[in-house]
Structure 1
Amino acid sequence: MDREHVSSGTEWESTVGYSRAVRTGDEIHVSGTTATDEDGAVVAPGDPYAQTVRAIENVADALAALDASLSDVVRTRLFVTDIDDWEEIGRAHGEFFDTVRPATTMVQVERLIDPAMLVEVEAIARL
């Protein structure tokens, strides 16, 4: 089976041993993706809505590198540091996936790798 990898170029990928996204056949798995810019800096500290938007934009970029789009997403997982932010995070998710309607899960976690990160998004797409 062919296997394609997408890298975001962050130091974490080589240190931890993972890829931003992996495509095998007609399925793409996008790793947990946070609200970071091209240099790896956290975008919009303290703003769960803006961080969710940026994280999903980063997911979309990884999918595009594998000839897919958000419309191909069948599953998302949202890891959040404060479940009380669910409405803002959910609003951002809904703006991207309104008609796609993937299966999704949102869970609160104690923390993410950087304390400024409020949300992490995983996705699975099928072509």
Structure 2
Amino acid sequence: MSDHITRIHAPEGVVEAPGYSNVVSGTGRMVFVAGQIARDESGNLVGPGDFAAQAEQVFTNIGRCLTAAGASFDDVVKVTYFLTDIRNIPLLRDALWSRIKPENRWASSAVQVSALFEPGFLLEVEAMALVSE
């Protein structure tokens, strides 16, 4: 667990939510990862019609972006998920839990959208991380 980040899963009077922290704070250098979609390094859509495959690629891309900035999934403090079908949250969590420890849950928001910027994409995820200085 990153010692420069404090995660409060359930502050007094707020119900604990499964899968994320209600509050995350800390000190350090901010890293912002733009919304990532299921494109491979050649720009091709990965997993047409397959949410699980797209989620895996999205988190792979986020991991690469974090690494490029000197960060890791342990440093993530907030993510926003944009899904074309909110019923895919369990598949999203499957891809997520293989990458983070349960105690390192970040603050998050999930939004169902009617479409993403290009047909075929089922998920976009943006992330913010806080890296120790």
Match of residue 28 from structure 1: 31
Residue identity matched to 1:93: L
Bigger relative contact order, structure 1 or 2, given CA contacts below 8 A and separation 6+? 2
- Gap runs ≥5 in structure 2: 1-27
- Gap runs ≥5 in structure 1: 1-24
Following TM superposition, where does structure 1 have runs of at least 4 consecutive aligned residues deviating by more than 6 angstroms? none
How many corresponding residue pairs? 103
Whole-angstrom CA distance in 1 between matches of 2:94 and 2:72: 19
Residue identity matched to 1:73: V
Whole-angstrom CA distance in 2 between matches of 1:119 and 1:87: 13
Q: Quote the offset at 1:98 in angstroms.
A: 3.3
Instruction: Choose which of 29, 47, 68 in structure 1 pairs with 2:50.
Output: 47
Whole-angstrom CA distance in 1 between matches of 2:113 and 2:93: 16
Query: Within the alignment, does 1:88 sit opposite 2:95 as a pair?
Result: no
Whole-angstrom CA distance in 1 between matches of 2:101 and 2:80: 16
SS at match of 2:34: strand
Match of residue 129 from structure 2: 125
Residues 78-117 of structure 1: pairs in structure 2 closer than 5 A = 78-99=81-102, 100-117=104-121
Whole-angstrom CA distance in 2 between matches of 1:39 and 1:75: 28
**Sequence identity (%):** 38
CA deviation vs aligned residue, 1:48-98 (integer Å, no higher than 9, x gap)? 111111101101101111111111101111100011212111221222223
Structural RMSD (CA): 1.3
Question: Larger radius of gyration, structure 1 or 2?
Answer: 2
